[in-house]
A and B are shown apart, each in its own frame.
Chain A
Amino acid sequence: MGYVIEGRTGPWEIVCGLEVHAQVISKSKLFSGAATAFGAAPNTQVSFVDAAFPGMLPVPNRECIAQAIRTGLGLNAQINLWSRFDRKNYFYADLPAGYQISQYQHPIVGRGEITIELADGRTRRIGITRLHLEQDAGKSLHDQHPTKSYIDLNRAGVALMEIVSEPDIRSPEEAGAYLTKLRQILRYLGTCDGNMEEGSLRADVNVSVRRPGEGYRTRCEVKNVNSIRFVMQAVEAEARRQVEVWESGGEVAQETRLFDPARGVTRPMRSKEHAHDYRYFPDPDLLPLELDAAWVEELRRTLPELPDAKAERFQREYGLSAYDARVLVAERATADFFEAVARGRDPKLAANWVMGDLFAALNRTGRTIETSPVSAEALGRLLDLIADETISGRIAKQVFEDMVETGADPAAIVDAKGLRQVKDTGAIEAAVAQVLAANADKVAEYKAGKEKLFGFFVGQVMKAMGGKGNPALVNEVLKRALG
């Protein structure tokens, strides 16, 4: 039995689908040569095409098209070799042409699917209905002047991919897992940076509820939710609201709503004065978009390895657990880091170090894998020092902390601090003799049969040797001495 909301009158199931707007990573806009960098001074990245000056014409940007195709391929979706741009007509001050160029009837990407992973280890497939390309609008700033609105057209014309899912999502967790996975795939592909704070990724959430086994009931659309956590909260809040409406004998009205994260509720958007009739029609300035099948194949061939395939390979190639593999592939940079450490070394040891000490150090220092104070190469050299018994695993942790702090090379730290492992039997024998002499009572207990004390002796010897004793040798000498 899946996720249900227990109402007063019985269980309810959630039906949810997401429409995600993902800003395409490209140097220039969808139909103009203007730049797309975030955060530039207002109206500095605007061409005459973006500002819809008389006689200006759109020309499709090949890189934006390639990005949409890559994304479609990454979503295991149908690539439509014939698609078309349409105009969506409406008046607004930050929409310079009075229409948005979009793809209405014939999107560039058709059906696909992605597999999401849930906390209990289950996976589910969520269908993708379509992906289409469209232009973003500019930005209206209403808070700069008491009576005037300011318009910033930097964003006007930037390429967006609208990715629409099937209503396959059944719980807040699944909604979050879907968006997480979609974001992960986009970032792997390099087609969208997934930055929800800057608005490069925004979600509209469609929610309805139903009795288990029923057909669909009326849905509401919660617009512009800008974090994965808020998406999960919005699904939950909206579903509970609808259950309450149905259970109190009401009727859910199809409407557009907004999520208020501060109060954890959705509320209806202020109803527009006039209902929009977008008067879609094919953009006569643009020819239908006809893709060369060979080009699509070339893009397919040069697609990077995606998280699912990578996680599968990590299990197969490195013998990692499913959980470890999934953690390591969450970000492409982490996966690359891990592989650089693991190559030619003990992969499980590499995984433990990356997920353990490295992640902890990143958390502590507020760094990311890209800005890690310890490079993959340096961590690899540290592991080499363990492997060739220059240092023990315990000393390695100490060296690692030094590396985080100073960025120095592990071998240099080992030398400078004299941490090299002692393999000289004489030195070990001396330490053992000293420990046994100082703990005559414990030796007696041990000899009387309390064999658990062996670990205590090992610890004492190591301590006496400053942790540098070779563990195997220490064991061997101790055993002999305790005879």
Chain B
Amino acid sequence: MSKPTDLTIAEAREMLARRALSARELAEAHIAAIERLASLNAYITVTAERALADAARADDRLARGEARPLEGIPLGIKDLFCTEGIRTTAASRILDGFTPPYESTVTRKLWEAGAVCLGKTNLDEFAMGSSNTTSAFGHVVNPWRRRGDNRDLVPGGSSGGSAAAVAARLCLGATATDTGGSIRQPAAFTGTVGIKPTYGRCSRWGIVAFASSLDQAGPIARTVRDAAILLRAMSGFDPKDSTSADVPVPDFEAAVGRGVKGLRIGVPKEYRLPGMSADIVSLWERGAAWLREAGAEIREISLPHTKYALPCYYIVAPAEASSNLARYDGVRFGMRVDPGGDLDDLYAATRAAGFGAEVRRRILIGTYVLSAGYYDAYYLKAQKVRALIARDFETAWAEVDAILTPATPTSAFAIGEKQDDPVTMYLNDVFTVTANLAGLPGISVPAGVDEGGLPLGLQVIGRPFDEETVFAVAGAIERAAGFDALPAVRA
């Protein structure tokens, strides 16, 4: 029998159901693994007691034959989801001492489905970053190592803790959020599967906001099927979130094995960037070939406004963030630094001490692009570009059913690399931001390794609320790729 921590969610579910494994054993194995691999820094808060209590209740239900869809499945929760009675940090000092008196809709749904809470996973501060190096709780270490290189690598960001925890077997799956690639990029860097569903699929209620029009929750797991299982439990209309969509939640799991016969898959020529590594180019071509062999038709398509996506994103996201983060002012909750002057001094001291450099940078950018005299040139223009990007996709959907792209321009890089110039770091999001700007579902599936033995991901983008096709295509890639490389560090 494989170790409990090596199981997929689907396998664990089956073993729990036939009582070949208890939820308690599963939880204990993960708690032990988290302790042993604490050096990865994947968790900010470990909730061992809560996990054992959850597991005990799950075992009771399993014994009574009243198991719910995720009964006894131990999960990591990105520390951006507010969890009632459990400290929630957003990886920022400014939330020092903040314990939410409420539960986010997504996590509530998971607990109601029987999931077990292992703890809160690390992330970039306020989900701003692509390397998980901006956390106030220290950087997360990617469990993968480049061949012949002992340096610690980044797990990607901002959901680096969730991705590293899933890859290193410190949970069976994890929640994450994605504003410009924060699920898909770390999934690609850690050889895991991460899906950002359609904007509005998961409620944003109770998730610390970064950029409201772009933020979406989604799962990271080790297989496409597991991601489908988790997403189904996380999804659904929430009257408490005006932007959540009142649409039915299909059985995503059933779509994973559906196959791609007859599907038209678009390969956008604008995603072929100059200087892209040969590994990525060949992986992309291989992916297209797999799908063709599985019966799909591959078409080259054009998404002409792609090159404006990154600058557009880095205007819209900071603009919204500058406003969303105004509430962290030291008045009602979290950190307060009172230098003994007037109200403005309190704000300045609190926010200077509470926010890290990257968050401050984005607040400044966002404030700038919204200010009088610059609004039209930046924010308004970015909104127009955003509409054009969305229209590119709408045009494409007339020709294709899904779009295949690389998930990231490179594999994981070393901690400390790409730190000199923020723009270099921002380029990590070049393939992922478009799906956020257009509100589309996108998945990253591990599809191979580069010359250093590091995982690489392919991205599948689908029509709004057509995650089923996305899962079908991702499932086909997963089967064809037979990705079985393992991270160097794992439980």
Indicate the member of A51, A55, A273, A280 with the most B CB atoms within 10 Å.
A55
* Binding-face segment, A92-100, A243-251, A465-473: A92-100
Closest beta carbon of chain A to B319's beta carbon, Å? 6
Does B333 make an interface contact (CB < 8 A)? yes
Does A10 make an interface contact (CB < 8 A)? no
Does B207 make an interface contact (CB < 8 A)? yes
* Binding-face segment, B263-271, B324-332, B459-467: B324-332
Q: Which of B88, B243, B331, B375 contacts A54 (CB 8 A)?
A: B88
Closest beta carbon of chain A to B98's beta carbon, Å? 7
A55 with B207: CB separation less than 8 A:
yes
B95 with A54: CB separation less than 8 A:
yes
Known: A57-B205, A91-B326. A284 touches B90 (CB 8 A): no
A281 with B319: CB separation less than 8 A:
yes
Closest beta carbon of chain B to A458's beta carbon, Å? 76
Q: Mark B360-378, 1 if CB is under 8 A from A, else 0.
A: 0000000100111001000
Q: Mark B340-363, 1 if CB is under 8 A from A, else 0.
A: 000110010000000000000000
Does B206 make an interface contact (CB < 8 A)? yes
Q: Which residue of chain A has the shortest Cβ distance to B203 in the bound complex?
A: A57
Interface size class, chain A: 20 to 34
Chain A residues with Cβ below 8 Å from B331 are: 93, 96, 151
Chain A residues with Cβ below 8 Å from B104 are: 55
Q: Mark B205-231, 1 if CB is under 8 A from A, else 0.
A: 111110111000000000000000000
* Binding-face segment, B66-74, B234-242, B253-261: B234-242
Chain B residues with Cβ below 8 Å from A54 are: 82, 88, 90, 95, 98, 100, 208-209, 327, 333
Complex Cα–Cα for A91 and B213 (A): 22
Complex Cα–Cα for A58 and B209 (A): 13
Closest beta carbon of chain A to B464's beta carbon, Å? 15
B212 with A52: CB separation less than 8 A:
no
Complex Cα–Cα for A311 and B485 (A): 85
B242 with A98: CB separation less than 8 A:
no
Number of interface residues of B (CB under 8 A): 43
A96 with B327: CB separation less than 8 A:
yes
Known: A55-B205, A57-B205. A277 touches B326 (CB 8 A): no
B242 with A287: CB separation less than 8 A:
yes
Chain B residues with Cβ below 8 Å from A286 are: 242-243
Q: Which of B88, B206, B319, B332 contacts A96 (CB 8 A)?
A: B332
Complex Cα–Cα for A273 and B342 (A): 12
A285 with B327: CB separation less than 8 A:
no
Known: A96-B332, A285-B242, A286-B242. A55 touches B326 (CB 8 A): no
B327 with A52: CB separation less than 8 A:
yes
Does A53 make an interface contact (CB < 8 A)? yes
Q: Which residue of chain B has the shortest Cβ distance to A286 in the bound complex?
A: B242
A279 with B371: CB separation less than 8 A:
yes
Q: Which of B204, B211, B213, B326 contacts A89 (CB 8 A)?
A: B326
Does B189 make an interface contact (CB < 8 A)? no
Q: Which residue of chain B has the shortest Cβ distance to A85 in the bound complex?
A: B242
Q: Which residue of chain B has the shortest Cβ distance to A54 in the bound complex?
A: B208
Q: Which residue of chain B has the shortest Cβ distance to A149 in the bound complex?
A: B343
Q: Which residue of chain B has the shortest Cβ distance to A87 in the bound complex?
A: B323
Closest beta carbon of chain A to B320's beta carbon, Å? 5
Indicate the member of A91, A96, A284 with the most B CB atoms within 10 Å.
A284
Closest beta carbon of chain A to B45's beta carbon, Å? 15
Does A59 make an interface contact (CB < 8 A)? yes
Q: Which of A92, A97, A287 contacts B243 (CB 8 A)?
A: A287
B242 with A59: CB separation less than 8 A:
yes
Q: Which of B240, B319, B371 contacts A57 (CB 8 A)?
A: B240
Q: Mark A284-296, 1 if CB is under 8 A from B, else 0.
A: 1111000000000
Indicate the member of B242, B319, B320, B372 with the most A CB atoms within 10 Å.
B242
Interface of A is mostly: loop
Q: Mark A64-101, 1 if CB is under 8 A from B, else 0.
A: 00000000000000000000000101011100111100
Q: Which of B82, B332, B375 contacts A55 (CB 8 A)?
A: B82
Q: Which residue of chain B has the shortest Cβ distance to A49 in the bound complex?
A: B240
Chain A residues with Cβ below 8 Å from B243 are: 284-287
Complex Cα–Cα for A285 and B199 (A): 12
Complex Cα–Cα for A281 and B243 (A): 17
Chain B residues with Cβ below 8 Å from A151 are: 331
Q: Mark B50-82, 1 if CB is under 8 A from A, else 0.
A: 000000000000000000000000000000011
Indicate the member of A57, A87, A96, A287 with the most B CB atoms within 10 Å.
A57
Complex Cα–Cα for A139 and B294 (A): 65
A93 with B343: CB separation less than 8 A:
yes
Does A456 make an interface contact (CB < 8 A)? no
Q: Which residue of chain B has the shortest Cβ distance to A55 in the bound complex?
A: B206
Complex Cα–Cα for A54 and B209 (A): 7
A281 with B323: CB separation less than 8 A:
yes
Does A60 make an interface contact (CB < 8 A)? yes
Chain B residues with Cβ below 8 Å from A52 are: 327, 332
Q: Which of A60, A98, A277 contacts B372 (CB 8 A)?
A: A277
CB proximity to B under 8 Å, residues A379-407: none
Does B101 make an interface contact (CB < 8 A)? yes
Complex Cα–Cα for A51 and B95 (A): 15
Chain A residues with Cβ below 8 Å from B88 are: 54
Q: Which residue of chain A has the shortest Cβ distance to B204 in the bound complex?
A: A57
Chain B residues with Cβ below 8 Å from A281 are: 319, 323, 370, 375, 379
Complex Cα–Cα for A56 and B332 (A): 14
Q: Which residue of chain B has the shortest Cβ distance to A279 in the bound complex?
A: B370
A284 with B242: CB separation less than 8 A:
no
Complex Cα–Cα for A52 and B326 (A): 10
Chain B residues with Cβ below 8 Å from A284 are: 211-213, 243, 320
Known: A89-B370, A151-B331. A99 touches B205 (CB 8 A): no
Q: Which of B239, B332, B367 contacts A59 (CB 8 A)?
A: B239
Chain B residues with Cβ below 8 Å from A91 are: 326, 329, 343-344, 347
Chain B residues with Cβ below 8 Å from A98 are: 323, 326-327, 329
Q: Which residue of chain A has the shortest Cβ distance to B332 in the bound complex?
A: A51
Complex Cα–Cα for A48 and B211 (A): 20
Chain B residues with Cβ below 8 Å from A87 are: 323
Complex Cα–Cα for A57 and B320 (A): 14
Known: A51-B332, A287-B243. A99 touches B323 (CB 8 A): yes
Q: Which of A60, A92, A97, A149 contacts B327 (CB 8 A)?
A: A97
CB proximity to A under 8 Å, residues B97-129: 98, 100-102, 104
Q: Which residue of chain B has the shortest Cβ distance to A59 in the bound complex?
A: B242
Complex Cα–Cα for A277 and B375 (A): 11
Indicate the member of B88, B101, B326 with the most A CB atoms within 10 Å.
B326
Chain A residues with Cβ below 8 Å from B241 are: 57, 59
Q: Which of B204, B242, B323 contacts A60 (CB 8 A)?
A: B242
Complex Cα–Cα for A51 and B90 (A): 18
Complex Cα–Cα for A57 and B323 (A): 14
Closest beta carbon of chain A to B296's beta carbon, Å? 35
Known: A96-B327, A97-B326, A285-B212. A277 touches B371 (CB 8 A): yes
Beyond A279-B322, A279-B370: 18 further Cβ-contacts under 8 Å? A48-B101, A48-B102, A53-B102, A53-B327, A54-B82, A54-B100, A55-B102, A55-B104, A56-B205, A57-B205, A57-B242, A59-B240, A87-B323, A93-B329, A96-B327, A96-B332, A285-B243, A286-B242
25 residue pairs of the A-B complex, CB under 8 angstroms, read A54-B82, A54-B100, A54-B209, A55-B81, A55-B100, A55-B102, A57-B205, A57-B241, A57-B242, A59-B240, A59-B242, A89-B322, A89-B326, A91-B343, A91-B344, A93-B343, A97-B327, A98-B327, A151-B331, A279-B323, A280-B370, A281-B370, A281-B379, A284-B243, A285-B212
The chain A residues found within 8 Å of chain B, CB to CB, are 48, 51-60, 87, 89, 91-93, 96-99, 149, 151, 273, 277, 279-281, 284-287
The 8 closest A-B pairs by CB, nearest first: A98-B326, A284-B213, A284-B212, A279-B370, A52-B327, A55-B206, A54-B208, A55-B82
The chain B residues found within 8 Å of chain A, CB to CB, are 81-82, 88, 90, 95, 98, 100-102, 104, 204-209, 211-213, 239-243, 319-320, 322-323, 326-327, 329, 331-333, 343-344, 347, 367, 370-372, 375, 379
